[in-house]
Copies of this chain bind each other. A is one copy, B any other.
């Protein structure tokens, strides 16, 4: 088959006749336009042109095969004949590229916050907007870590801590450190290889990776990247079409996934204003004051329209009927629902508020954990379910606090994305190594030599629930407020 040339493709550039090029191949997407979950407009921007750069991080490579009829696959294009768009770099982008040149050396990063600070400097504005944003005023986003700071240690001394072992078991899998890589979407926004970078780092440190539904890599690519007996779990957004869900789940089980984490805190994906704002193009003064323009609602909305807001407790038996994988509910936020989960017969829960990306003023997972475990013990339920937490974990001390309170393990998401975005696999590797170093040190300093010795008496949680006044700052209100001033000096007429 002869290659198409760019001029030919360029002719099809309207909503009635729309071709686009992706990875050197042309596709006729005219009929698909109205169905595109991210909206028609974003495609039309590339009508008749090469859309690869925009397409790449948002869509797994098997997307076009899965969702576009073969008849619309028009064949390969001679890319030399495709006109390159000359994009003049904005001043902001030039400054960013300068910052990329001057990125700190990897071994100047001594903790997980450092990776975030570096990623903030060098990531593209829209990618940073997608990763770092959270719901409304981002109070819960910050509360997640801040809550750990309201827990203090009561360490034991004069314990022989020469040998410290902080390996543990989660859902039957032995892991070297009590964390797992939790599911986060769109890995290629941060790194061209996407989620497989995390797979390789997880293998190296013998921890579990949870594979996201909304990965940039395809599910099979991520499974294929695993080595030997490396364990992976699957995170699931439940599709309105349960047959699609059934296929996905059963495929995952067949490929060897060891657990199914069903997300229950996202009947609709959150409004994330920083993400929205990062998408906005200032179109200058030729747009009239107050005139509405149709701008994107951010990446989150675009990719999540299939999620079923009708998912409910009644669906749990069906899930149990289609898979033998242990089922874990991800996103439980109050003790009453943990009890319901036990009674529904699932194997675990993740106390989580989705990294603060869904409901602002949801409490931190660690606070819900402190509410949950004593109640489970009262009911004799403590061994009937594995309780995980995620959100805000940045230090080994955070992990230790969660384990003292009764968690089986903690999920860590954004910090590894930031490390990957800043330094690739070496960054993720170092991030995990830093946590390992901190774990060893702090297990010793708290006077425990193994994870099963961690218990609530090693903590002072008396201030954990007093968060009213320590609430993270409300920046939008702060910037908007016009503070009172004392009388100004008079102007000098001299």
**A residues with CB within 8 A of B:** 98-99, 101-111, 113-114, 116-118, 120-121, 128, 132, 136-139, 142, 145-146, 149-162, 264-265, 267-268, 270-271, 273-274, 276-277, 280, 282-287, 289-293, 295, 308-316, 329, 331-334, 336-337, 340, 358-363, 394-395, 397, 423-424, 426-427, 437-438, 440-442, 444-446, 460, 462-471, 473-477, 479-494
* Chain B residues whose C-beta falls within 8 Å of the C-beta of A470 in the assembled complex: 468-471
Contacts of A106 in B (CB 8 A): 289-292
User: In this complex, what residue of B is CB-closest to A427?
Assistant: B290
A interface majority secondary structure? loop
For this chain, the copies found in one complex come to 4
3 tightest A-B contacts by CB?
A: A463-B468, A469-B470, A117-B486
**CB < 8 Å neighbour of A158 from B158, B162, B264, B441:** B264
Contact A361 B490 (CB under 8 A): no
A353 to B200, CA, bound (A): 38
Question: Counting chain B CB atoms within 10 Å of each CB, which of A153, A295, A394 scores highest?
Answer: A153
Q: Tell me the bound Cα distance from A487 to B121 in angstroms.
A: 11
Query: In the complex, what residues of B have CB within 8 A of residue A474's CB?
Result: 145-146, 149
A105 in contact with B291 given A136-B397, A284-B490 (CB within 8 Å) = yes
A284 touches B491 (CB 8 A): yes
Do B290 and A468 touch (CB < 8 A)?
no
What B residues does A438 contact at CB under 8 A?
Answer: 136, 271
A128 to B482, CA, bound (A): 10
Cβ of A475 to closest chain B Cβ, rounded Å = 4
Most chain B CB within 10 A, of A145, A267, A493, is at: A267
Residue numbers in B under 8 Å from A394 (CB-CB):
477
CB-CB under 8 A from A108, the residues of chain B are 277, 280, 487-488
Question: Please, how many angstroms separate the alpha-carbon atoms of A487 and B104 in the complex?
Answer: 6
> Would B463 and A466 count as touching, CB distance under 8 A?
yes
Cβ of A282 and Cβ of B479 under 8 Å apart?
no
B464 to A468, Cβ gap below 8 A? yes
24 chain-A/chain-B pairs, Cβ below 8 angstroms: A104-B488, A104-B490, A106-B291, A107-B293, A110-B277, A113-B479, A117-B480, A142-B477, A153-B359, A153-B363, A155-B265, A158-B329, A158-B340, A159-B312, A160-B314, A284-B491, A285-B492, A359-B446, A394-B477, A463-B466, A467-B469, A468-B469, A468-B470, A469-B470
- CB pair A111–B273 under 8 Å, yes or no, is yes
Q: Which residues of B contact A485 (CB under 8 A)?
A: 277, 475-476, 479
Is there contact, CB below 8 Å, between A361 and B114? Answer: no
Known pairs A110-B276, A158-B264, A267-B445 / 12 extra A-B pairs, C-beta < 8 Å = A98-B492, A106-B289, A109-B487, A150-B468, A155-B265, A156-B336, A161-B268, A284-B490, A290-B424, A362-B445, A394-B477, A468-B470
Contact yes or no, B486 A113, CB < 8 A: yes
Cβ-defined contact, B491 with A442, below 8 A = no
* Cβ-defined contact, B334 with A277, below 8 A: no
Question: In the complex, which residues of chain B have a beta carbon less than 8 angstroms from the beta carbon of A463?
Answer: 465-469
Chain B residues near A315: list those with CB within 8 A. Answer: 158
Cβ-neighbour of A157 out of B308, B329, B361, B468 (below 8 A)? B329
CB contacts (< 8 Å) of A493 on chain B: these are 284-286
Q: For A152, what are the chain B residues with a Cβ–Cβ distance below 8 Å?
A: 361-363, 467
B116 touches A480 (CB 8 A): yes
Q: Indicate if the CB atoms of A489 and B121 lie closer than 8 Å.
A: yes
Closest to A364 in B: B152
* Chain B minimum-CB-distance residue to A276: B110
A426 x B359 contact (CB < 8 A): no
CA distance A276 to B109 in the complex (A): 10
How far apart are the CA atoms of A362 and B152 in the complex, in Å?
A: 6
B136 near A395: Cβ-Cβ < 8 Å: yes
B residues less than 8 Å from A162 (CB atoms): 267, 308-310
**Cβ 8 A contact of A460, one of B110, B313, B363, B426:** B363
User: Who on chain B is nearest to A145 by CB?
Assistant: B477
Question: Do A480 and B273 contact each other (CB < 8 Å), given the known contacts A293-B105, A463-B469?
Answer: no
